[in-house]
Amino acid sequence: MHVTVATSDDNVYTLEVAADTTVEVLKGMIHAESGVQPERQALVFNGNRLNNDSATLSSAGVGDGDLVMMVPAPPPRAQQQGAPQGQQAQRQPPMDPVMMQAFLRELQNIPQIQELLRANPRLAEALQRGDQSALAALMQAAQGGGLPGAGRGPPAEPDPFADLTDEQLMDPEIQARIEQHIRRKAVDEQLAHSQEYYPELFGEVTMLYINAELNGTPIKAFVDSGAQGTIMSERFAEKCNVLRLVDDRFQGTALGVGTSKIIGRIHQLPMKVGNTTIVIACSVLEGDTMDFLLGLDNLKRHQCCIDLAKNELRFGSSDVVVPFLPEHEIPKNDIARKAQAAAEAKQKAAEGGGAAQPGGDPAGPSAAGAGAAQAAQQAPADGAGAAPTAPAPPQNGGAEDPKLRGLMDLGFSREQCEAALRQANGDADMAASLLFSM
């Protein structure tokens, strides 16, 4: 199990221990991490001090994921009245070999060993060899500030609880504040660590598109396994001459994070992938924002496998492999372009003293994939409900963010679009995919 140890100077250590690990062994592991001698450690759990060094963690009530506070303990009186500090340091015994072996075993299981290798190769090499003497020498050097890399980095934040006495630290309210402070600091450290070692997590993700043909019309199909159903825009259905095949008895409203009207369903549609033609079914939606989205219904029907390692889509039903398009071949989503044109027209009309009167919605609503499939698979019924009106933008007379406007035209609320844009770091394509997949 894992136990988090927080010190009074805002250091946090996550240790992997067993349920039968004693308090004494835990202090030894903390000593190896922080350099604080076991006799100078006072461990506090749930407001109670762990005084019995021979007690196990399970008997003390410490479980997996629990937080243990380590505060400085006053030195023994005999040590205060003893020899000078120089002589005491000379008589200080080396680290217990048994404790050292336990510490080495614990460190071997820590996933962050690669980070340790990068930060301090000498310490990592001694750890991997199991060289206790070299490891002890490096730890003593770290206590004296002589370890390579010691003292680097930004200055630590001042401890807001440094001036509190031990009695005040035991107060439940203070303990709650300390826990909140530690958790916030842990989140900040995790963010800084991710930005330093995994910057790719903050980059934009290239969406998955393949080249295909629908009824002889070329299309760059968007592959989305998070969308339950396959959808096609009304404009593209007219372009590839299949609008006449739409069964309007399957009208309905696609319900998901947003809403959009389904004008019908095409029950059979030839789709050419590679050198093979397969048959798919899809729902046709009002608007022209999303030309074609290949959803989970047809992906499962044709036993498709999204292989990200090879960057290809395999159709198991026909043994066809289609590569995903590279980023420069992916069609740029025209949501932002159309929304920008609408915003500019509105701005010009406002400057001219009149309200903008667009001839039509430049980017009709599109549906979330899950909702589209749910509505499309309803039993055919005449006179299905009409699509609800999309949220209207604020009438401030000025142009707003075209990306936000374009996403709102899909039928999502302003709050949902703003949250998706924040999550996608301002990328309109990724934000639209996130909204479709919710």
CATH superfamily of 207-347+362-438: Acid Proteases (2.40.70.10)
> Which of these is catalytic: 96, 224, 319, 427?
224
Query: Where in the chain do CATH 3.10.20.90 domains reside?
Result: 2-110
**Residue 224 designated active-site:** yes
- Supply the pLDDT for residue 264: 92
Segment 281-290 shows an average pLDDT of 84
User: In whole numbers, what is the pLDDT of the chain averaged over residues?
Assistant: 74
- Supply the pLDDT for residue 260: 77
Query: Contact at 8 Å (CB) between 302 and 276?
Result: no
Given the structure tokens 């006072």, which residue do they identify? 42
**Using one digit for the tens of pLDDT, what is the confidence trace for 211-265?**
999 998 999 999 999 888 899 999 999 999 999 999 989 888 766 546 778 899 9
- Supply the pLDDT for residue 143: 58
- Supply the pLDDT for residue 103: 62
Band (pLDDT 50/70/90 cuts) for residue 147 is very low
Helix H or strand E encompassing 253: strand 252-255
- 3 pairs with which residues across the strands? 15
- Supply the pLDDT for residue 304: 95
* pLDDT at residue 202 greater than cutoff 80: yes
Q: What are the b/e assignments for 82-101, b being 16+ CB within 10 Å?
A: eeeeeeeeeeeeebeeebbe
Q: How far apart are CA 278 and CA 280, in angstroms?
A: 7
**Using one digit for the tens of pLDDT, what is the confidence trace for 345-389?**
566 666 654 433 333 343 333 434 444 444 444 444 443 333 333
* pLDDT at residue 95 greater than cutoff 70: no
Q: What is the DSSP string of 54-101?
A: TSBTTTTT--TT-EEEEEEPPPPHHHHTSS-HHHHHHHPPPPPHHHHH
Highest mean pLDDT among 38-42, 73-77, 274-278: 274-278
Segment 6-27 shows an average pLDDT of 84
Query: Where in the chain do CATH 2.40.70.10 domains reside?
Result: 207-347+362-438
> What are the tokens at 158?
């001042």
CATH number of this structure's domain 2-110 = 3.10.20.90
* pLDDT at residue 53 greater than cutoff 90: no
- Supply the pLDDT for residue 323: 96
Given the structure tokens 């740029």, which residue do they identify? 332
